[in-house]
Amino acid sequence: MNSNCSLSDIFKRTVIKTENDFMNVQHQQQQQQPLQQQSQQQPNDDVGNSGHTPRINIESPRKNMTPAGGGGLGNMSPKIQPLALGNLSSISQSNATTASDPASQYMGALQPIRLSINSSKKSNIYVLVTIAICNITDCHDCTIVLGPCCDYIEVSDCSSLTIIAITKGIRVKSSSSMTLNICTNQKPIINTDCTGIRLAPYNTHYSTLESQITLSKLQVNLASNQWCSPLVFKSPMPSPLDQSPSLQSDGSVADLTNDLKLVNMGGGDTGAGQSHIYTLVEPDDFYPFTVPFVLKGRTKANPCELPPKYAKALSNKTSSVQSLHKLVQQSTNDQRIRGHILHLVESKFQDWLIETDNIRQINDLINMKK
């Protein structure tokens, strides 16, 4: 069974959660296994029911909170609290692994978590772990970067979000003005009460991403990526967090949408009358996203295959930046003039940071390093 995690009421914060934050909690839960076995033999034991799902609660930053596992913003970091004990069917954390065993490199890996992000505003949230199911509700003006999601991401009652994720599928309802940079193995599901949903290819990476993709068994090749072919439905969508029989099956779109009224079959082009619901980001407006944290791992580039038009657009942008650097270097041999040019560029960049409020995230990152 999966650990349940809730991240709520984050306001104007940059928060990062990595595998170490959750592994510590799961290790504590594993240490309690003898107590659980004892509770089975002694029904009156106060430890708890061995069939109860372990749950982790990630609460919002409050006064006097201390950081957990080094994540978050100093004393403003969300705090991980184990709330209950139960059987944890996580992968073994044994150190007795050998290179000859293909599965040995994944021993000790974090079990996928069930994640809920609620009521957060003007924040940058990074949950860089393997996720089972994710629910994002009532979040506004946020950037949310997720690790691979083995099942579904559901988004509801949100606005002005950027979500970056690799997932089996994603559903969006009652939301507006969102950008979804996704690699999804099933067609995105969008409800007709949505407006201004922008779809784009996955555009980031971090060091542990490829190993997490392998564990999640998601496909990142171009043929398997359905990011640009959404299904638009008129009826309310069932929540993937509901314990319905459909969620116990293979999770296919057909099983999950039998009772919904299909309005448009996407197919890579916005259907007539559907452009107010969703559009595809143009290649010229497609940019890479940098995860501003250094983790231990082997991933050095975006592992998701990009459509040729988007790959070419990124290559052109890279060439333009290199040309600008070369132009500055060759413009003059006078170090004073060269320094003045660089100062002008930096000044414009500073103005952009302030105008877009991205300066806040820069300050958050600086505070994290202190």
Task: State the pLDDT at residue 366.
Answer: 81
Given 252, 285, 318, the domain boundary residue is 285
Two structure tokens written together for 99: 């290179």
Two structure tokens written together for 15: 């928060």
Please, which pLDDT band fits residue 271 given cuts at 50, 70 and 90? low
Residue 317 lies in a domain: yes
Reading phi first (left if > 0) and then psi (alpha if -120 to 50, else beta), residue 266 is in: left
Are 337 and 257 part of one and the same domain? no
Task: State the pLDDT at residue 291.
Answer: 94
Long-range contacts of 183-187 (CB under 8 A, 24+ apart): 183/218, 183/220, 183/225, 183/227, 183/304, 184/225, 184/226, 184/227, 185/218, 185/219, 185/224, 185/225, 185/226, 186/226, 186/252, 186/253, 187/226, 187/229, 187/230, 187/231, 187/253, 187/266
Residue 29 lies in a domain: yes
Higher pLDDT among residues 291 and 364, named by residue: 291
Are 272 and 365 part of one and the same domain? no
| CB contact at 8 A, 204 and 164 | yes
**In sequence order, which residues have a C-beta less than 8 Å from that of residue 232 and are 6 or more positions away?**
190, 191, 192, 262, 263, 264, 266, 271, 274, 277, 278
| CB contact at 8 A, 174 and 192 | no
Task: State the pLDDT at residue 311.
Answer: 96
Alpha helices in 257-331 (DSSP H): 308-331
Are 256 and 319 part of one and the same domain? no
Residue 291 lies in a domain: no
Are 178 and 133 part of one and the same domain? yes
Question: Given a cut of 90, is residue 59 above it in pLDDT?
Answer: no
Portion of the chain with pLDDT greater than 70, in percent: 65
Question: Given a cut of 60, is residue 71 above it in pLDDT?
Answer: no
Between CA 298 and CA 212 the distance in angstroms is: 11
The segment with the largest mean pLDDT, out of 18-32, 152-166, 339-353, is: 152-166
**In sequence order, which residues have a C-beta less than 8 Å from that of residue 14 and are 6 or more positions away?**
73, 123, 124, 125, 126, 361, 364, 365, 368
Are 279 and 353 part of one and the same domain? no
**In sequence order, which residues have a C-beta less than 8 Å from that of residue 318 and are 6 or more positions away?**
none
Are 190 and 41 part of one and the same domain? yes
Are 19 and 146 part of one and the same domain? yes
72: domain CATH number is 2.160.20.70
Please, which pLDDT band fits residue 203 given cuts at 50, 70 and 90? very high
Are 238 and 124 part of one and the same domain? yes
Residue 115 lies in a domain: yes
Q: Which domain holds residue 349?
A: 310-369
Are 255 and 342 part of one and the same domain? no
* Exposure of 58 in the CB half-sphere (CA atoms within 13 A): 32
Residue 281 lies in a domain: yes
Between CA 168 and CA 192 the distance in angstroms is: 21
| CB contact at 8 A, 228 and 199 | yes
Between CA 277 and CA 270 the distance in angstroms is: 9
Task: State the pLDDT at residue 31.
Answer: 57
Q: Which residue's entry shows tokens 């806040």? A: 360
Are 274 and 327 part of one and the same domain? no
Given 285, 320, 355, the domain boundary residue is 285
Residue 319 β-bridge partners: none
Between CA 178 and CA 319 the distance in angstroms is: 29
Task: State the pLDDT at residue 269.
Answer: 52
Residue 208 lies in a domain: yes
pLDDT single digits (tens) 122-181: 999 999 999 999 999 999 999 999 999 999 999 999 999 999 999 999 999 999 999 999
Report the run of H or E that residue 145 belongs to, with start and end: strand 140-146
Residue 91 lies in a domain: yes
**In sequence order, which residues have a C-beta less than 8 Å from that of residue 5 and are 6 or more positions away?**
22, 55, 56, 57, 58, 113, 114, 115, 116
User: What's the structural domain count of the chain?
Assistant: 2
Residue 292 lies in a domain: no
Between CA 81 and CA 95 the distance in angstroms is: 26
Question: Given a cut of 70, is residue 320 above it in pLDDT?
Answer: yes
**In sequence order, which residues have a C-beta less than 8 Å from that of residue 115 and are 6 or more positions away?**
5, 6, 7, 127, 131, 132, 133, 134, 135, 146
Q: What is the DSSP-derived secondary structure letter of residue 87?
A: -
Task: Taking residues 265-278, report their average pLDDT.
Answer: 65
Task: Taking residues 103-123, report their average pLDDT.
Answer: 77
Task: State the pLDDT at residue 142.
Answer: 96
Are 186 and 324 part of one and the same domain? no
Write down the mean pLDDT value for the chain: 75
Portion of the chain with pLDDT greater than 90, in percent: 46
pLDDT single digits (tens) 207-236: 999 999 999 999 999 999 999 999 999 865
Higher pLDDT among residues 57 and 88, named by residue: 57
Range name among 107-116, 127-136, 159-168, 261-270 with the lowest pLDDT average = 261-270
Task: State the pLDDT at residue 163.
Answer: 98
Are 314 and 268 part of one and the same domain? no
Task: State the pLDDT at residue 177.
Answer: 97
